[in-house]
């Protein structure tokens, strides 16, 4: 395998959790809910996926556990913000703080254990295609899922009736309510979808990226995923582009550190975070386009009139 292929593979591995978490959050935000708890849901997914894998010996059970834990954990956020109309920003932060705490508590006995890496699924003929075959058709299940999810979300949001309803809830919850759409139920489902995707992203971290458990192993990816949604202007395929761009930045800094360029490693490690800030500036400095793209009800609580 050539050097370039090897680099591309690591970029994909680094980008997949970002794409997954961001596509989930995109759906949540399209319904008008800003869930800042992505980081907490990812780390819960990572912990639960790792524990389930160690207990059963099957990383596929681990994937299911990751998805389920993310979805269940997001329900906490849903209950507070949708049923009790608590402030979404503050509740999202609470979810992140709680997730970091709970995950480090429940997974503590598993610290230092070596995990089971999710096996590759090799497509028989396609994987023999030179170059592309090894990159696209010799991957693990979570990678395939990430691409399928983006395609599925794109279809759902823009081609299906339910997706149209979800977008209308995000753009004007009062009008959607007047049309007889159940705003709260739609948002609960969107929040849970976001949680499930974040949980899956966490499972990727503890089963593929580094098959082991380490505290705070999400390392800010939840926040980068939130930035990615803004970067993508709430459009699914742009998440893939942004995710792979960020993946490339974080991998290139690792290669730069390994090759021993004269820059201190801390400065290189700061690159992905600085890149996030720069990208955010580039995307949002034009007030008008930002206003057009952002779901109009984003972050606003809804209490039905009676």
Partner 1 sequence: MRIELERRADVSKLFSILSPFIALGLTLFFGGIMFMMLGKDPFSALYSFFIEPLTEVWSLHELAIKAAPLILIAVGLSVCYRSNNWNIGAEGQFIMGAIAGSILPVVFYEWQSPLVLPLMMLLGMLGGALFAGIPAFLKAHLNTNEILTSLMLVYVAQLFLDWLVRGPWRNPGGMNFPETRTFDATAVLPEMFASGRAHWGFGFAILAAILIWFMMRYTLKGFEITVLGQSQRAGRFAGFSSRKMIWFSMLLSGALAGLAGIAEVSGAIQQLRPVISPGYGFTAIIVAFLGRLNPLGIVVSGLVLALTYLGGEAVQVSLQISDKPIRVFQGLLLFFVLSCDTLIHYKIRMIWYDLNDTTGEGAR
Could you list the residues that contact partner 1 (CB under 8 A)? 36, 76, 80, 83-87, 89-91, 93-94, 97-102, 104-105, 108, 220, 223, 226-227, 230, 264, 266-267, 269-270, 273-274, 276-277, 280-281, 284-287, 290, 303, 306
Angle at 162 between CA 161 and CA 166, to 5 degrees: 120
Query: CB-wise, 83 or 160, nearer to partner 1?
Result: 83
Query: CB-wise, 227 or 251, nearer to partner 1?
Result: 227
Q: Is 282 exposed, middle or buried (0-12, 13-18, 19+ CB in 10 A)?
A: exposed
Q: Minimum CB separation from partner 1 for residue 136, in Å? A: 31
Query: CB-wise, 2 or 101, nearer to partner 1?
Result: 101
Query: CB-wise, 73 or 156, nearer to partner 1?
Result: 73
Query: CB-wise, 148 or 296, nearer to partner 1?
Result: 296
- C-alpha 182/C-alpha 289 separation (Å) is 29
3-class state of residue 33 by DSSP: coil
Query: CB-wise, 102 or 241, nearer to partner 1?
Result: 102
Residues 119, 236, 17, 149, Cα dihedral to 10°: -30
Q: Minimum CB separation from partner 1 for residue 98, in Å? A: 3
Query: CB-wise, 39 or 140, nearer to partner 1?
Result: 39
Q: Minimum CB separation from partner 1 for residue 165, in Å? A: 20
Q: Minimum CB separation from partner 1 for residue 164, in Å? A: 25
**Distances in Å between the alpha carbon of 206 and those of 113, 212, 269?**
11, 5, 20
Containing H/E element for 120?
A: strand 120-122
Q: Minimum CB separation from partner 1 for residue 62, in Å? A: 22
Q: Minimum CB separation from partner 1 for residue 237, in Å? A: 22
Query: CB-wise, 139 or 276, nearer to partner 1?
Result: 276
Q: Minimum CB separation from partner 1 for residue 285, in Å? A: 4
- C-alpha 5/C-alpha 17 separation (Å) is 20
Q: Minimum CB separation from partner 1 for residue 85, in Å? A: 6
Residues paired with residue 122 on neighbouring β-strands, in sequence order: 138
Q: What is the DSSP letter of 200?
A: H
Angle at 235 between CA 233 and CA 239, to 5 degrees: 90
Q: Is 59 exposed, middle or buried (0-12, 13-18, 19+ CB in 10 A)?
A: buried
Residues paired with residue 212 on neighbouring β-strands, in sequence order: 114
Query: Long-range CB contacts (< 8 A, 24+ apart) of 2-11?
Result: 2/131, 5/131, 5/134, 5/135, 7/251, 7/255, 8/135, 9/134, 9/135, 10/251, 10/254, 11/244, 11/247, 11/248, 11/251
């Amino acid at each position: 395998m050539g050097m370039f292929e090897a680099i591309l593979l690591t970029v994909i591995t680094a980008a997949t959790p970002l794409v997954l978490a961001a596509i989930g959050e995109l759906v949540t935000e399209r319904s008008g809910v800003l869930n800042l708890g992505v980081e907490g849901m990812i780390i819960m997914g990572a912990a639960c996926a790792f524990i389930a894998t160690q207990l059963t010996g099957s990383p596929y059970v681990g994937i299911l556990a990751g998805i389920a834990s993310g979805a269940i954990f997001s329900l906490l956020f849903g209950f507070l913000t949708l049923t009790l109309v608590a402030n979404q920003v503050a509740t999202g932060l609470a979810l992140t703080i709680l997730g970091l705490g709970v995950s480090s508590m429940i997974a503590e006995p598993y610290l230092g254990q070596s995990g089971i890496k999710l096996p590759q699924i090799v497509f028989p003929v396609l994987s023999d295609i030179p170059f592309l075959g090894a990159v696209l058709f010799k991957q693990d299940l979570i990678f395939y899922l990430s691409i399928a999810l983006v395609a599925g979300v794109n279809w759902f949001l823009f081609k299906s009736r339910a997706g149209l309803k979800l977008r209308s809830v995000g753009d004007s919850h009062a009008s959607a309510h007047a049309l007889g759409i159940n705003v709260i139920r739609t948002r609960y489902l969107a929040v849970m979808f976001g949680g499930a995707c974040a949980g899956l992203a966490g499972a990727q971290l503890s089963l593929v990226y580094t098959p082991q458990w380490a505290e705070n192993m999400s390392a800010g990816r939840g926040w980068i995923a939130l930035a990615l949604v803004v970067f993508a202007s709430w459009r699914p395929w742009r998440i893939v582009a942004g995710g792979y761009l960020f993946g490339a930045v974080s991998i290139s800094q690792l290669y730069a550190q390994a090759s021993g360029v004269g820059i201190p490693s801390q400065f290189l490690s700061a690159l992905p975070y600085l890149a996030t800030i720069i990208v955010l500036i580039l995307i949002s400095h034009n007030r008008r386009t930002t206003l057009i793209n952002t779901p109009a009800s984003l972050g606003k609580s809804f209490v039905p009139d009676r």
